[in-house]
Chain A
Amino acid sequence: MDLVIAVGGGGQHIALSIARLLRIGALADPIEAFVIDADSDSRLAGKLKLFGNTVSRECPHPLDGAQTVVPPFARDTMKETAFRKIFLDDRADPLERELFELFYDEESGGVENGSGPMAGVDIGKGMFANPSVGSAVFASSKGGAMEPLFGKARTAARIFVVGSFLGGTGAGIMHQLIKLVREAVGPAKPMYGAFLLRWFDLPPTTGQTVDVATLLASMGHGLEYFYRYTKALLDASMLLGVPDNPTQQIKAVPAAAENDETLSIYPLLAASALLMLPDKTDTQARAMHRTYGLSHDEHDPLWVLRRKWNTPRGSKDPSLGARLVEAVVLQEIYRSFREKDSDFADFDYEKGRATWGSLIENVARRNNEKPAAFARRVLGCLEARSAQLRFVTWWFNTVFGNVDLSLFGDPRARQLYAVHRDRGWKAPVAFKILVDAFQYETSAGAAREKNRTPDPDVELAEKIEAALLAALRN
């Protein structure tokens, strides 16, 4: 299993991209995430933990471990989350106060008895682009809070550290974290990093403590430290940021309001490091660490979709576009099942009883349930899976626009995508491929390995989706 350590807001954006790619099969399981951020209650954290409110019993999170956001300090045992009061309690002597105020300005460290912005950073709500705050907090409690991470890191096959050098959490703790992890796992463990430089712009109305200059200053310091110390701890790394004179697709986007997800291509590009960096690493010459970037082809805005990603079994098209085509077609199929829910549940479609009907009846009997009721629960699971796919394709549509993907995908997926694109989709098409997919029922789905035992209806829904994908790919 690969371990992705996502640090701060940038790390959560990349983790969301990884989860999306896993959901559509553009990245291969098993990948586990360990997400570190001070504010585990932000909208972004909520979106990652619940994968856009699509995680349920019927459909688990595509990225194991992303349901939990761990603060970089022992938040549960802390009496106080105001940065100033962590270091300066009532018993602090004047020298301590003097030293504290020497290192931290009013915006990050606050002032004595200050309130509002003058109280300094409340680390319970994030580091607010103050790397000095993040690194101090992390250094003060690195033992307890990060202990579970080191255990996971030791058992992981490969480790990827992702985040940004812009904010407070990522820029503040990234370097120390990589050093600690490397110490914990030893020099032989493959360890990679994917880091975002400037990739968004702050709106002018954002509070006084953070502006673009602050972000760029953090980035500069982070880069300098990275090249001096951190880079050598990694086998390979990738740095991504907005170039000079960017085209529309790769320019910095305004940061989302209220710490929500910022929709940009950059987290997706950073996620591609999971495939690219191990391929480019010479395991025989680890000392020859390389840092990579990506160049954007302005004449081909869809180049990311054409790139080779994970190649699922049976597919002859390894592009990201092919996986998106499958996701779109699957949504159409599930929508048809809902539209004809009684036919799905009662197997009243051509060859329905001889194929999935008999299988579902057998499973339902084993669970002492009526087949129709059980089939309806399976349909509920498929709808939950469709909601996840919608969450994925919605994001891609926002980033790339409503592009025509007709040239992507294996022949059958491509043909069905064309039907969808021409608005000619009808329910029988979905049931026809469902019946065709039954031939892959025994072989499909065996490739995925999960550390859980799903309920029978959930398992059957996963099996149906795997068989449908196999039918689309063959």
Chain B
Amino acid sequence: MRPPMFTQIALYQPRNGTPSWPGDPPPAADDAGAAAAPPPVEPAQNAGNTTVVVNNAPAGNGFLSQEACQEANTNAFISAGGYAFGASFVGIVIFLVMRKKLWLSSFGRYLTAVLTASLVAGVLAGWDPVRADLLQQCIQSSDFHQYVFLGGQLFARALVLGLIPAFVVTFLGCFVANRT
């Protein structure tokens, strides 16, 4: 039997303690997976469909979809890029100030700028202070974390989305800035 579609739900991100739909009663913890809810479907069986209800999601976050998680993932990419570029900018400014003051050696300046930017970007990418709840739910969902890039691996995510891009961008930025 084909599960019912809840396309409207996919457009919203339910908050804890709020109804998924304005007319609905707030979902209770003890009626997750109640008779009104469709039976759980494995994601593999849901190929081509966009929305599922998972019964192992945290209370109040029971409505996730592949599209929502993919979009949250895209947003996470954008914010990680922002972190990396912001941290790189800080690193390049540090480099330029150090060069103006002739602090340390050239290698020391590069190292300080690149390490600072990389660490800041790595921490920000791992911590992600503006992370959306939906992304958090997607990451915590055993079914949907696959739609989030390195969703279950915090350190790898910080490394790949923060540290490495910031390292590369800062190094190149410092190199170009040093040519001036």
Q: Which residues of A contact B (CB under 8 A)?
A: 340, 342-343, 346, 348-351, 353-354, 426-428, 431
Contacts and interface: CB of A to CB of B under 8 A. Distances in A.
B180 A342 contact: no
Interface residues of B, number: 10
A354 B180 contact: yes
B180 A348 contact: no
Contact of A343 (B102, B179, B180): B102
Contacts of B75: none
B101 interface: yes
Nearest to A429: B102
Contact of B102 (A346, A349, A351, A354): A349
A296 to B, nearest CB: 46
Given A342-B105, A342-B106, A348 B100 contact: no
Interface in B130-180: 178-180
13 contacts: A340-B102, A343-B102, A343-B106, A346-B106, A348-B106, A348-B109, A349-B102, A353-B178, A353-B180, A426-B101, A426-B102, A428-B101, A428-B102
Contacts of B100: 350, 428
A contacts with B: majority SS: helix
Q: Which secondary structure dominates where chain B touches chain A?
A: helix
Interface in B90-130: 99-102, 105-106, 109
B95 to A, nearest CB: 10
A342 B180 CA distance: 17
Given A342-B106, A343-B106, A348 B101 contact: no
A351 B99 CA distance: 10
Nearest to A345: B106
Contacts of A351: 180
A340 B180 CA distance: 19
A348 B103 CA distance: 11
Contact of B99 (A342, A348, A354, A426): A348
Contacts of B178: 348, 353
A354 B178 CA distance: 10
Contacts of B105: 342-343
Nearest to B179: A353
Contacts of A426: 101-102
A360 to B, nearest CB: 15
A84 B4 CA distance: 132
Given A343-B102, A353-B178, 5 more contacts: A346-B106, A348-B109, A349-B99, A353-B180, A428-B100
